[in-house]
Structure 1
Amino acid sequence: MGRRGGAGGRARAAGPSLPVHRREYVVMNLQGLLAKSRPREQLTAHLAATLDGAIALRWRVGTVSALDEATDGLFWAAACLAGLCHDAGKIPDGFQAMLKGQIKAWGERHEVVSLGFLPALIKDDHLLLWTATGVATHHRSLEGGRGPLLLAYGNASDTEWRDRLQPIPQNAAVELSIWLHGTAQGAQLPTTPDPQHEFDVIGEARQLFDSLWQWWEQPASHKRGLAAVLLQGAVTLADHVSSAHGVMHMRQPLDAAFRPQLERVLADKGHQLRPHQSDAAATDGHLLLRAPTGSGKTEAGLLWAAAQVGQISTETGGIPRVFLTLPYLASINAMAVRLGRLLGNDDLVGVMHSRAASFHLAGAICPDDEIAAARKAVSRAAATRLFRETVRVGTPYQILRGVLAGPAHSSTLIDSANSVFVLDELHAYDPRRLGYILAMAGLWEKLGGRIAVLSATLPDALADLFRTALEAAIQVVEADTTDTPLRHRLGLRDRHLTDPKSVEEIRQRLAEHEAVLVVANNVADAQHLFAELSPAVDEDAAYLLHSRFRRMDRSALETAIGKRFGVGCGRHPGLVVATQVVEVSLDVDFDCLFTSAAPLEALLQRFGRVNRIAARPPADVIVHPATFAPRRAQGPDFADGVYPRTPVESGWNILSAYDGEPVDEAQARLWLDEVYGTAWGQEWHDEVERHRQEFTDAFLGFAHPFISRDDLAERFDELFDGTEAVLAEDRDAYEADLHSADGDQKAGRLLAERYLIPMPYWAAPLTTWEKKLGVRLLNADYDPRLGLGQIRGPAVQAYEAGEVL
């Protein structure tokens, strides 16, 4: 492609001068220009609102030193100017005809036309190129992906550009340029209007597009490439907020007032801050917190977060966002409710996961008007997707998606700059996911973030990995467990959890009117045990909980379990059989536990569901050996088809020395250190580091920031996202809900989602795709109390029940 007018200079195309004295001409020519058709929105109104959104984002994020260094301090000026000018290119007659319904599609890209308004506005070549970067990339990639700009316009001649993008109403273009000048000056943006500038929108756009591509054609340094992606994110976010007429919260409720507020809440209950909570609140910088379940670990993390908010705000002038991440959806939902109560307002907390709208619907639904409730829930979830709240609870993977960059994901990255991250209960035994989170934590730090890791079971090996991943020092705070009451007594058995003798022992505890928790490693074992044990108690006192329920049934089960076995709900006999979804998903309290062997971290989490607040003498936690076998005919052994053999065996061998003894939670951490100190622990460490480097190389380079990353998105989804399916027998009910909200597709889909059953990503071949409804259908047995049963769909021979967690 020929290059003209590089970064150092721009030839001027012939055209009329700007009639800056013709102010009375402004209103007449711009009134009819639209930015949106549904709802109809005037172009200048949308541009002004997007500028307002960029300015608000600048105030909220504050100064990011890494970006200022990469852009010579021009980052926010470029973001605001790009927000102001991003849709100026919607002025051509073809685009306006499309918005007004006169033609079906224009077929060209308005953002390349928008470039033509910049040279008259910005004389500084460096600022011009950064601003052009934000304008050109707010919808499409330059290369790769869907409709890349370089393929569409890079080799087109001047004549082709004009033939494709004209006609443009010249008087309106001049008038819009005058309006842009005045608006930029009113916002105190660094512009230098030139009344004598010769104005040719398409000619200027063509030359600037060539200069822009020349600027980004060569690999960028890490800081420059990262700054480019974050600029794209800032412009895209401002545009989306403007289009949705949204408002971002400009206050962080976890601030200096949070500590005295929490102290008052505790005092009302006769309590005060514990030493580890005070130590966390006094920490300046990254934190590793070890504290047992029931010791106020979450409150310690929030106190730390509030302290970091104040420090980051002072340093950057921004309003830091606080992200609390947990591994399971149910625990996220419970934390959002809990945090809303602590802060005195549920509206201050965003829920950041794929089923956020369902969470809001469950909390707000009214039997008399569920459609209205669905609309409200959709709106609330959409506001969170637009980064409205400054406190958000979710999985780590929703934030990690920002590395996919591009117009769809780069906003997540700019929103995470100068933020506070509280990572609760990371699972060390999953080395790939842990490696990816460690890599991302390093990026958050570079963007001014501070990270805390909270865990009741934090081994030294994991602490060392975080020290490697982060450059700044990390302070370790440990709860004093000297006077901590012993909550559990360990018991080991020599038979599998499903063995008839095991079942009989559990029945005896049920006959003694105890609240009994049984945790199996896979769905098949859990369903078998429930069928064996549930007849021993009343129907309304027996529950099965795993991940393969329809959403509405899972929600009803969790609610019922919480009411009967929740902390503070009194002592009620009964039975819950579950898989590992119970480990951190419910605030429940049982009299005893029977569990399959698993990695020590998982076992300690399961122990934590028993005698939760140490209100009774040590309660029995009974561990049964797992069955080891390959998942298929060959390959390594897994415990009950789920966990790698070596860490499970190592944990079992350690526990064997303490059979029949109370569990000292301080000692439990030393057990973990022993597991990770083995040869397997070194292999685990090396694998985590390998995955950290893999993620860094694949996602965090940004040498070519505007080449599409669509190919990486599928890899990401396979790792972090599952799929969902609707039972064939529910198909008609699903379709009826889809169309139940009077044309409101989002509200209708939310109501229909009650029928969805989560499936692992690899299980998609077990389903068929229903194109009309946009959903997978699953031919299988199902019972509201038992969940998903036998699958009769395609590729059923590939299904192993033990593998579906």
Structure 2
Amino acid sequence: MEYLAKSAGETIIQHTENLLKNYDLLKKYYPEIPVNWSLLRLICKYHDLGKINELFQQKIREGTMKKEGEIPHALLSIALLPVKELKKVYGVADVKAMTYAIALHHERDFSQLTKDQYDNEIGKLQVPAKHFPFSELGLPFPNEIKRPDARFYRFLHRPSSKDDYFKLYVMLKGLLNRIDYAASGDYPVEYPANFLSHNMSRVLNGWKQKSPTGTADWNEMQKYVEQHQNDNLIVIGQTGLGKTEAGLLWLGDNKGFFTLPLRAAINAIYTRIRDGIADKANYQQQVGILHSDSLAVLLAEDSENEVVELDQLANYLNETRSWSLPLTVTTLDQTFDFVYHYAGFEKKLATFAYSKVVIDEIQMYSPDLLAYLLKGLKEIQDFGGKFLVMTATLPTYLLDLFQSQGLKWEMREQPFLDEDLLERHYLQLIKDNLSAEMIAKLYQKGKLLVICNTVRKAKEVYQELSTLLPKVEIQLIHSQFIRKDRQQKEQEIMEFAQSNQAGIWIATQVVEASLDIDFDLLITELSELNGLFQRMGRCYRKRSLVNRNKPNVYVFDGGDNFTSGISKSEYSIVHDEIFSLSKKALRSKEDGILNEHEKMSLIAATYTTEALKETSYYHQIKTMLAWLSVTENDDKSEKEVKRLFRNIQSRAIIPRKIYDDFTTEINECVRVLTLTSKEISQQFKENPSIIRRIYRSKLDDYKISIAEWLFIKCAQQNQVQFKEIGKYEGFYIVDGKYAKNYGFETLHGVEEDRFF
């Protein structure tokens, strides 16, 4: 009799052999992983042996979901472990970690099980065990089949950070999960990290060939990180110094994650690496992009060049999401949610144990995300991984928080600056609120970028300025455009910045650190110093001042009031205390040239622990850190953690105008999403899973996110309609105005200040 592991007919022996192949790949590519390799190999062999039980075999052959009285096979697998013999070789802690890794390798609810039921099913293993070919896996026939005693496994217990074998358990279970999922999904658990070092040298040679003198070299910052590849680093470097290249040089030929706070920035860096650094023929085995809209990015890129091979795209997405690629460009919520220690977190933390992670633009994270980041970096450090924090401005209180969390790093005393580009900005502070009238007076020619704190303010300025300057080309970009219009806007502003055109773009924080653009003049509201200096990086990005007697940056600080979006409420775009500190710091400076040294000195002097420790902003970080520590062993589900981590306070909707204009396209998406897998296969001749992903992505092209409170208000006024997609899915249509040049507005014109 053959003992099956999968409904497709794969036997336990075959499945286990596939695990061992992936085990061999993992060990070959990353032999330095801090894990007991022989124990991991044994776990691969034993993890599914519990499937020999009669109820599981009946279920597989009958094609049913579950049999009456069946218990999770992983609990039966540990009854086949030769615990006494293993203890003699490895010791109690290792065997305990091994036992729990197998018992919990599937996230199942054991709460309804009783010990009597468990022991009864273990007793029934005696019969199938007599016929199972253990020798084919190089395993001895079990001398006894019994539940491991309490020294090695306590019924219904889940290991936590309080257990002395916790780190051993995380590494074994996490890597077993990675290997098992790869074997089941028929993809390699890892690809080799062997392209960056060679290809970065190729990039440098390309620069030399383009140089008029035939010479080029990495700059001081890039050389520094390359020399410190084995260290945790914090690097402060001026905008435009090549931090992306520095991050890649530091990663070298190691498994790496490049994290950024904004999807537009992720898209841009992924494209740069894919097209300019990775091997063209093999990029899908080298670099991946991972965020909530990554499928849309891949579809858009591929459709410009060639017909999309859907099976290939499905494999690429799956391998990226499974962390099989050596380099992943991603967001914090896709990676650092492991800090909650939810059921199944181990595979992420175990991977970080042999990885290097780059954190770019750390100053842009909210207090709760900073807390996640601090706790995550500490756990990564404790498990053996490395981190590089790169930023143009680093508040000193952050360094104190790093130290208080026990993080260790190297950092050069002086920031990295471009001596030829120290003076790029002449700043004039205006103690008033930003207005279209003032912008019209200040603008004369060239490229002007206006940055407002909120969508509402940006729209107001756009409308009024269009009336005041009817002959000037004026464009608007913010978050309240449907996705396909937003992507077009991002492309248009980058093309405009590189052209010889004159005109005005009005924007929100969406351009603060996400788009590689360069304007001649910046007019902005004050949000806070970090944000201001990021905004200034969009003006004279890589060029020195031409006119040293005339401002190229005007900052409106609100006068005696707050600027738009700033308040004492929870909806403020930045904490009001941080805004007030920033305003005070700016007012202490005279108008004039603000060089790079002065920018960094202002940040260091303003954002001190002493200045912030009594603020609600700082208190929020400390409270979140404490809460994470207290709740990390609460057995939250992964779905719950995703919701907590993203701090979801918004709702994806389709504006009524968009639904009316694109009813045919939207209904086609709905039609496909309601088809059965068989119907999709018959119609498209493709994998149903990737077809569903594609049509969900197409549907998302017509969506925007609005604040949850605004959604509720619209619903209370009967302005919301729900459209069902099958039994468990659907979308909301919200009444309101929408224009391609203006974006969305609810019927009463009320908008959420926190959105940008």
TM-score (norm 1): 0.79
- 1:337 positional shift: 1.1
The residue number in structure 1 matching 2:39 is: 78
The residue number in structure 1 matching 2:677 is: none
Take 2:193 and 2:530, find their aligned partners in 1: how far apart are those partners? 33
Residues 776/362 of structure 1: CA separation in 2 closer, same or farther (3 Å cut)? same
- 1:602 positional shift: 0.4
Take 1:683 and 1:378, find their aligned partners in 2: how far apart are those partners? 50
Say if 2:524 is the partner of 1:595.
Answer: yes
Residues 748/640 of structure 1: CA separation in 2 closer, same or farther (3 Å cut)? closer
The residue number in structure 1 matching 2:605 is: 674
Take 1:709 and 1:426, find their aligned partners in 2: how far apart are those partners? 27
- 1:291 positional shift: 1.4
Alignment-mate amino acid for residue 286 of structure 1: N
Take 1:682 and 1:403, find their aligned partners in 2: how far apart are those partners? 24
Map of 1:364-443 to 2, 5 A cutoff? 364-365=302-303, 372=308, 376-406=312-342, 408-427=344-363, 430-443=366-379
Determine which of 736, 742, 748 is the counterpart of 2:695. 748
- 1:610 positional shift: 1.0
The residue number in structure 2 matching 1:304 is: 250
Alignment-mate amino acid for residue 396 of structure 1: L
- 1:112 positional shift: 2.4
Alignment-mate amino acid for residue 734 of structure 2: N
Determine which of 141, 145, 156 is the counterpart of 2:117. 156
Take 1:219 and 1:272, find their aligned partners in 2: how far apart are those partners? 49
- 1:656 positional shift: 3.1
Q: Deviations over 1:65-116 (max 9, x none)?
A: 5xx6xxxxxx433333222332333334443443344545325322223334
Map of 1:116-155 to 2, 5 A cutoff? 116-119=79-82, 123-124=86-87, 126=92, 128-141=95-108, 148-155=109-116
Which secondary structure state, in structure 2, belongs to the residue aligned with residue 622 of structure 1? strand
The residue number in structure 1 matching 2:745 is: 789
Take 1:402 and 1:441, find their aligned partners in 2: how far apart are those partners? 11
Say if 2:210 is the partner of 1:274.
Answer: no
- 1:246 positional shift: 0.8
- 1:400 positional shift: 1.0
Give 5+ residue unaligned stretches, structure 1: 1-28, 69-74, 142-147, 185-192, 310-319
Is contact 2:261–2:365 with CA below 8 Å preserved after alignment? Answer: no
Is contact 2:722–2:730 with CA below 8 Å preserved after alignment? Answer: yes
- 1:752 positional shift: 2.5
Alignment-mate amino acid for residue 786 of structure 1: Y
Residues 763/351 of structure 1: CA separation in 2 closer, same or farther (3 Å cut)? farther
The residue number in structure 2 matching 1:330 is: 264
Q: Deviations over 1:11-34 (max 9, x none)?
A: xxxxxxxxxxxxxxxxxx22xx43
Which secondary structure state, in structure 2, belongs to the residue aligned with residue 801 of structure 1? coil
- % identity of equivalent residues: 22
Take 2:96 and 2:365, find their aligned partners in 1: how far apart are those partners? 46
Say if 2:51 is the partner of 1:90.
Answer: yes
Take 1:750 and 1:723, find their aligned partners in 2: how far apart are those partners? 16
Alignment-mate amino acid for residue 34 of structure 1: L
TM-score (norm 2): 0.83
- 1:240 positional shift: 1.1
The residue number in structure 2 matching 1:494 is: 431
Say if 2:518 is the partner of 1:610.
Answer: no
The residue number in structure 1 matching 2:676 is: none
Alignment-mate amino acid for residue 296 of structure 2: S
Take 1:365 and 1:176, find their aligned partners in 2: how far apart are those partners? 51
- 1:606 positional shift: 0.6
The residue number in structure 2 matching 1:356 is: 294
Say if 2:413 is the partner of 1:461.
Answer: no
Map of 1:680-691 to 2, 5 A cutoff? 680-683=611-614, 686-687=618-619, 690-691=622-623
The residue number in structure 2 matching 1:231 is: 172
Residues 755/285 of structure 1: CA separation in 2 closer, same or farther (3 Å cut)? same
The residue number in structure 2 matching 1:772 is: 725
Is contact 1:486–1:617 with CA below 8 Å preserved after alignment? Answer: no
Take 1:34 and 1:353, find their aligned partners in 2: how far apart are those partners? 36
Alignment-mate amino acid for residue 621 of structure 1: V
Residues 639/128 of structure 1: CA separation in 2 closer, same or farther (3 Å cut)? closer
Map of 1:527-546 to 2, 5 A cutoff? 527-534=459-466, 542-546=474-478
- 1:623 positional shift: 1.1
- 1:377 positional shift: 3.8
Residues 62/49 of structure 1: CA separation in 2 closer, same or farther (3 Å cut)? same
Determine which of 295, 300, 304 is the counterpart of 2:241. 295
Take 1:722 and 1:393, find their aligned partners in 2: how far apart are those partners? 25
Is contact 1:492–1:624 with CA below 8 Å preserved after alignment? Answer: yes
Alignment-mate amino acid for residue 391 of structure 1: L
Say if 2:142 is the partner of 1:179.
Answer: no
Take 1:789 and 1:52, find their aligned partners in 2: how far apart are those partners? 55
- 1:46 positional shift: 1.7
Residues 295/471 of structure 1: CA separation in 2 closer, same or farther (3 Å cut)? closer
Residues 554/209 of structure 1: CA separation in 2 closer, same or farther (3 Å cut)? farther
Which secondary structure state, in structure 2, belongs to the residue aligned with residue 78 of structure 1? helix
Take 2:336 and 2:257, find their aligned partners in 1: how far apart are those partners? 12
Which secondary structure state, in structure 2, belongs to the residue aligned with residue 590 of structure 1? coil
Q: Deviations over 1:249-294 (max 9, x none)?
A: 4422465435533431332232322222222222251222121111
Residues 207/681 of structure 1: CA separation in 2 closer, same or farther (3 Å cut)? closer
The residue number in structure 1 matching 2:675 is: none
Residues 533/133 of structure 1: CA separation in 2 closer, same or farther (3 Å cut)? same
| RMSD of aligned Cα (Å) | 3.7
Is contact 1:361–1:373 with CA below 8 Å preserved after alignment? Answer: no
Alignment-mate amino acid for residue 668 of structure 1: K
Take 1:255 and 1:367, find their aligned partners in 2: how far apart are those partners? 25
- 1:748 positional shift: 2.7
- 1:224 positional shift: 1.9
Determine which of 576, 585, 588 is the counterpart of 1:654. 585
Give 5+ residue unaligned stretches, structure 2: 673-679
The residue number in structure 1 matching 2:232 is: 286
The residue number in structure 2 matching 1:581 is: 510
Alignment-mate amino acid for residue 690 of structure 1: K
Map of 1:794-805 to 2, 5 A cutoff? 800-805=751-756
Is contact 1:537–1:574 with CA below 8 Å preserved after alignment? Answer: no
Residues 122/790 of structure 1: CA separation in 2 closer, same or farther (3 Å cut)? farther
Take 1:82 and 1:540, find their aligned partners in 2: how far apart are those partners? 69
- 1:53 positional shift: 2.3
The residue number in structure 2 matching 1:444 is: 380
Q: Deviations over 1:659-682 (max 9, x none)?
A: 541220111011112221485423
Greater mean alpha carbon deviation, residues 293-302 or residues 676-685: 676-685
- 1:417 positional shift: 0.7
Take 1:539 and 1:236, find their aligned partners in 2: how far apart are those partners? 62
Take 2:207 and 2:339, find their aligned partners in 1: how far apart are those partners? 40
Take 1:465 and 1:667, find their aligned partners in 2: how far apart are those partners? 24
Take 2:62 and 2:562, find their aligned partners in 1: how far apart are those partners? 63
- 1:520 positional shift: 0.8
Is contact 1:421–1:452 with CA below 8 Å preserved after alignment? Answer: yes
Is contact 1:361–1:374 with CA below 8 Å preserved after alignment? Answer: no
Residues 247/721 of structure 1: CA separation in 2 closer, same or farther (3 Å cut)? farther
Take 1:721 and 1:237, find their aligned partners in 2: how far apart are those partners? 32
Which secondary structure state, in structure 1, belongs to the residue aligned with residue 10 of structure 2? strand
Greater mean alpha carbon deviation, residues 412-421 or residues 49-58: 49-58
